[in-house]
Structure 1
């Protein structure tokens, strides 16, 4: 594995030991090699192991020639500081100001639209404010209802997320079995559930309350507590654990802090 830095060095790691070896000059490293190095690091260590510049380089290595990818990544970092800000920019400015090809500008736009670019995709959700902000970023602007489940470790750091169900602008249904399968496959310490209300009111409906109670009870049988169910709109959220603690009676807090008002 390798960590790639701006400049002319690649720090090479042996895949079977992970120990640092002598730095190797990147002269002669072609685009395929660079992609393989960064792709292997991503696959082995995860998104958080990549630096902001490595994320940019990996994305652009699929659409730019080696030298062009390196130069474009450097200019993007100088101008925008990372993928998120760059993807929010107008494609014309990306091409004109940073020298990206049209293909690269389109790629960044697509990544933005699919919501895959938060600089910290897997934060620690240690309290209701952090959980609310995280799920607003995932679901707040969606035009239709969607419910997601997020698996967390013992430090309440999100490990992975999945869409449980997608509905219309006025309703949604999901399976407790699917939630249970996801939690077990993810080796979750606990899970968070969230869905959006496109109309803007984040107060839980009667169906929301009933479905949450059913899910909470089902997950307790698996010894995987539901830490919270967060309902979001484009700018607000409601923590059901904060508003309706009776639904979570008997559920360990998992170190999750309920604080502040129920709706922001």
Structure 2
């Protein structure tokens, strides 16, 4: 560190934001990927801009191509990011091919987190399960604003009956970054559980996904 910087610190100047190891690793990885296409100087500039705006590689990969272009990613960079995005989804999706049970598989949550945690809008998905709680299908039933995505219980019930599902898991994300269920989340969940119960369909769980993790209504004793 230069003497001038040391002297400023000694005078009580506010210190720079601490750099996390994960931040450094993400920048190195993204720069390395892009430098194979556009050269190191340009790659560092683009990687720095994307990570400065979105915060992590995971968030960058979850960002739309249109927004990435606005942040400085040219067509070559977009192509590389799109390829990595699809490879990641393919790997995670393959882990769910053998119809894992929702009770013992982390693959489903990993896939949902990768696809939903960093979305800039709320999305509502439903996992349809058979009588042994094996995954039948994952479907997106609604996309909302930054604040909300709503699905009527009749939509979930109709689709469950069409697929022959005995149970469902609701999933939605919180773009705010906080996975804690809101009061409205709890009200919607209770209404959904009551409506599905009339058709002998079990609401097994409701997951709230956010960048920092997820919350399970079942684990919290809210179902």
Q: TM-score range by the shorter chain?
A: 0.5 to 0.7
- How far apart are the structure 2 equivalents of 1:121 and 1:130? 6
Change in CA separation of 1:146 and 1:220 when aligned onto 2, cut-off 3 Å: same
2:187 equivalent among 187, 210, 226 = 210
Aligned to 2:95: 120
Q: After superposition, where does 1:136-151 map in structure 2 within 5 Å?
A: 136-151=113-128
CA change 1:114–1:181 in 2 (3 A) is farther
* Cα contact 1:147–1:164 (8 A) shared by 2: yes
Q: TM-score, normalised by structure 2?
A: 0.57
* Pairing 1:171-190 to 2, within 5 Å after superposition: 171-190=148-167
CA contact (8 A) 2:169 2:203 kept: yes
Number of residue pairs matched by the alignment = 150
The 1:125/1:137 distance shift into structure 2, 3 A limit, reads farther
Question: Equivalent residue of 1:156, what SS?
Answer: coil
Please show how residues 18-167 of structure 1 align to structure 2 within 5 Å.
Answer: 90=33, 109=82, 112=85, 116-117=89-90, 118=92, 119-122=94-97, 123-127=100-104, 132-167=109-144
* Cα distance in 2 for residues equivalent to 1:211 and 1:121: 27
Gaps of 5+ in 2: 1-31, 38-77
Residue equivalent to 1:227: 204
- Superposition RMSD on alpha carbons, in Å? 3.3
Change in CA separation of 1:90 and 1:169 when aligned onto 2, cut-off 3 Å: same
Which residue is 1:196 aligned to? 173
TM superposition shift of 1:108: 9.2
Query: How far off is 1:158 after superposition?
Result: 1.4
TM-score by length of 1: 0.49
1:243 matches 2:207: no
Inter-CA distance 153–93: structure 2 relative to 1 (3 Å threshold): farther
Residue 151 of structure 1 and its aligned partner are, at CA, apart by 0.6
Superposed CA deviations along residues 116-155 of structure 1, whole A, max 9, x for unmatched, are 5222234432159666444323311211110100111233
SS at match of 1:195: strand
